[in-house]
Amino acid sequence: MPATNKTLPPTKAKPTAAGKLAASLAKLGLHSPMDMVLHLPMRYVDETQIMSMQQAALLGGRMLQVEGVVTECDVQYRPRRQLVVTIADDAGQMVLRFVNFYGSQITQLAVGTRVRARAEIRHGFFGSEMVHPDYKIVNQSTPLPTQLTPVYPSGTGVSQASLRREIHTAMQHIDWHDTLSDNLRSQYGLLEFEAAVKCLHHPPADVDESSLEDRSHDAWRRMKFDELLAQQLSLQRAQAARRSKSAPSLDCVGQLSERFLQQLPFALTSAQQRVLAEIRRDIAAPHPMQRLLQGDVGCGKTIIAALAAAQAIDSGYQAALMAPTEILADQHFRKIAGWLEPLGIGVVWLTGSLKKKEKQAAREQILSGQAQLIIGTHALIQEDVQFARLGLVLIDEQHRFGVDQRLTLRNKGNHHQLVPHQLMMTATPIPRTLAMTYYADLEISVIDELPPGRTPIMTRVIDQERRGEVIERVGAATAEGRQAYWVCPLIEESEALQLQTATDTCAMLQQALPHLQVGLVHGRMKPAEKQAIMADFIAGHTQLLVATTVIEVGVDVPNASLMVIEHAERFGLSQLHQLRGRVGRGTAASVCLLMYQGPLGGVAKQRLMTMRASTDGFEIARKDLEIRGPGEFLGARQAGQAMLRFADLETDQELVDQARALAQALLAHTLPDSENIVSAHLQRWMNHREEYLKV
């Protein structure tokens, strides 16, 4: 490729080209002029200085810019075909070497042309040289930029040159007024908005570059503050809006709840009792609860959900539990119906795989109110499902659902203007800082204790060359009456291949362990088939369950004590943690064997080491955040929309606190002109993104 940073001659853009550019910009999230202006550089290059070649020759290994006239331009074979251009200034010369080049560059760089080139200087066999420099053709009077040149985050179809041009144009068209008054700016020590933005796009040549790089410069500080303020404002507003809504008051802890608790085969842990009390108090109030129940895999969230449902039913309302997969919904159904049906409660199952007639019957029961607890998958949020009196929405593995889906289910309950309470469950712990900024409108309950009698899972990382030993372990565990899972490798490229591998693995294991009953479950099976296979495993008819990752979430078979994961290096941390959490649910000592195929890359190694070192979901989530960044925790849809672009929750904690405090003051109207400030600021920074913060 020729140089990327030379200015393109102004071409009369064809409509298609302009359309293409707009589409590429849209992919970067750039729609309006303000979006363009807030698209800030990720780094800069310094093109403000020209160094003499003599001096440059002394400074190897640094990015430098030189300017000279071409004295030679040859295609050489030494040994590869390359373009070798020599340029000279008053006192020295420099070789520009291009291993890949276009024919047009030979004419472009003809002898006598003046070239400004920028690259790291190397001292090669031919003297000082630049390999693939950024360069442009200039004449003697072409001015040097007086400012650092910005380099923007980019994507395919958008060159730096076009980004610079579009941003420059956008700057002429936006409203620059400062959303924060002089007073507020001086109180928080903030630069003016316009000055900050302009400084970031075009920093003066004498700027402290390291402060731009690590984003500690005052201009960055202003951007981060604005961004955080917008986020805090919209979260706090959403919270206030929720508090102003009415919900049915589910305040009857009656017969059902009590009999249910009495007949439980175990006592609740003190953590379970605590969160149950929190939930009971909240749903008894006449405003919608929005609570996240967070707790490591196996800590016992399901029973808490069921007890909350019992309170809703006692209070004369319906509860709905939505799970992300049929297997999980089925398991919840069996378990909870097993608890509640003997107490005379109508529990109904609704998933996409039901026959038309069955679905119809389920829908009728839901509409009539005969169904008091409804358990299912996404089928619950279909248009034709109508509830009689939905008072409580329970969502398992909440991060598996999009914001829209959760919202749809909640809206199903709009019964006499009442919004149902919502309890979401997750085993993916959300770090405190994230929770405080993204989930300001969410109360959080944490179960930080496992039921008694569990022995910690021992995790081993094993090269897959030692598969024979692993198979022996399976044989030994099942000989002791235990059960085992064997998770087949994740093959992202092809579902067909994944299926093939699972089938082969199953056959291989059956052959190696002929006396075992081996089951196979995979994503391509019909739900009924899956359920039958799972039911066999739960009942202990099969001892070994070969599975693709369909068993990832929620499956609960306490007698299973061995988990084998093939190609563990392909899985993410939270996925591994979820998978491992399928064992260690009973009293037997459990083992998780992570088989890998070497050589391991750095990140994969880090992950497997983390898994070996810790069984603590919080610790693992913290590591995961370190390795992957916060996007994963927020659910796919939220991530893209509401992500902080500039502020960093770890390092900018102080700014987060300040922004939160100011947002509070503004929304309480304790500051002059609060209302205008809030609307102008949100308008500038949130645009249409606000919806996403509300659920």
Residue 297 as a binder of ligand ADP (CB under 6 A): the answer is yes
Closest separation in Å from C-beta 298 to Mg ion? 8
Could you tell me which of 484, 428, 470 has the C-alpha nearest to residue 594?
Answer: 470
Distances (CA, A) of 594 to 460, 561, 583: 6, 14, 13
Name 395's bridge partners: 322, 424
Task: Point out the residue whose Cβ comes nearest to ligand ADP.
Answer: 300
The Cα–Cα gap between 322 and 306 comes to 12
Angstrom distance (rounded) from CA 454 to CA 56:
67
Among 153, 402, 451, 523, binds ligand ADP (CB under 6 A): 451
Shortest spacing between CB 342 and ligand ADP, in angstroms: 16
Q: How far is the CB of 299 from ligand ADP (least distance, A)?
A: 5
How many residues in the shown chain lie near Mg ion by CB under 5 A? 1
Q: Out of 554, 581, 586, 630, point to the residue binding Mg ion (CB under 5 A).
A: 554
In the numeric block, the tokens 């060359």 are attached to: 465
Closest to ligand ADP by CB, 52 vs 614, is: 614
Closest distance to ligand ADP from the beta carbon of 554 (Å): 6
Q: Which stretch binds ligand ADP (CB under 6 A): 95-103, 369-377, 385-393, 550-558?
A: 550-558
Nearer to ligand ADP, 310 or 682 (CB): 310
Q: What are the E-state strand segments in 377-420?
A: 390-395
Look up residue 118 and give its two tokens. Answer: 């920028």
The residue at minimum Cβ distance from Mg ion is: 554
Q: How many residues bind ligand ADP (CB under 6 A)?
A: 18
Q: Which is nearer to ligand ADP, 102 or 266 (CB)?
A: 266
427 in contact with ligand ADP (CB under 6 A): yes
Q: Which stretch binds ligand ADP (CB under 6 A): 125-133, 243-251, 263-271, 634-642?
A: 263-271
Does 586 contact Mg ion by CB under 5 A?
Answer: no
Burial (0-12, 13-18, 19+ Cβ within 10 Å), 523: middle
Spell out the residues 6+ positions from residue 507 whose beta carbon is closer than 8 angstroms to its own: none
585 binds, among Mg ion, ligand ADP, none (CB under 5 to 8 A by kind): ligand ADP
User: Which option in Mg ion, ligand ADP, none does residue 527 bind, with CB closer than 5 to 8 A by kind?
Assistant: none
Rounded CA-CA distance 390/403 in Å is 19
The 3-state secondary structure of 153-206 reads: CCCCCCCHHHHHHHHHHHHHHCCCCCCCCHHHHHHHCCCCHHHHHHHHHCCECC
Question: Between the CA of residue 102 and those of 105, 118, 162, 636, 685, what are the distances in Å?
Answer: 5, 19, 21, 42, 43
483 binds, among Mg ion, ligand ADP, none (CB under 5 to 8 A by kind): none
Does 299 sit near ligand ADP (CB under 6 A)?
A: yes
Choosing from 82, 181, 211, 269, the residue that interacts with ligand ADP (CB under 6 A) is 269
State in angstroms the smallest separation of the CB of 553 from Mg ion.
7
Report residue 232 as tokens. 């805090």
Query: Which runs of E-coded beta strand occur in 440-590?
Result: 443-447, 458-463, 483-487, 518-521, 544-547, 560-565
* Minimum gap (Å) between residue 290 Cβ and ligand ADP: 20
- For the CB of residue 426, give the shortest distance to ligand ADP in the complex, in Å: 9
Which of the listed partners (Mg ion, ligand ADP, none) does 269 bind, with a CB threshold of 5 to 8 Å by partner kind?
ligand ADP
Considering the complex, state which of residue 418 and residue 557 has its C-beta at the smaller distance from ligand ADP: 557
| Least separation in angstroms between CB 521 and Mg ion | 18
Q: Which residues of 603-621 are buried (b: 16+ CB within 10 A; e: fewer)?
A: ebeebbebbeeebebbebb
| C-beta pairs of 6-13 under 8 Å, 24+ apart in sequence | 6/134, 6/135, 6/136, 6/137, 6/161, 7/136, 7/161, 8/159, 8/161, 8/162
Is residue 558 a contact point for ligand ADP (CB under 6 A)? Answer: yes
For Mg ion, the binding residues (CB under 5 A) are 554
Q: Can you give the binding site for ligand ADP, defined by CB under 6 A?
A: 266, 268-269, 272, 295, 297-303, 427, 451, 554, 556, 558, 585
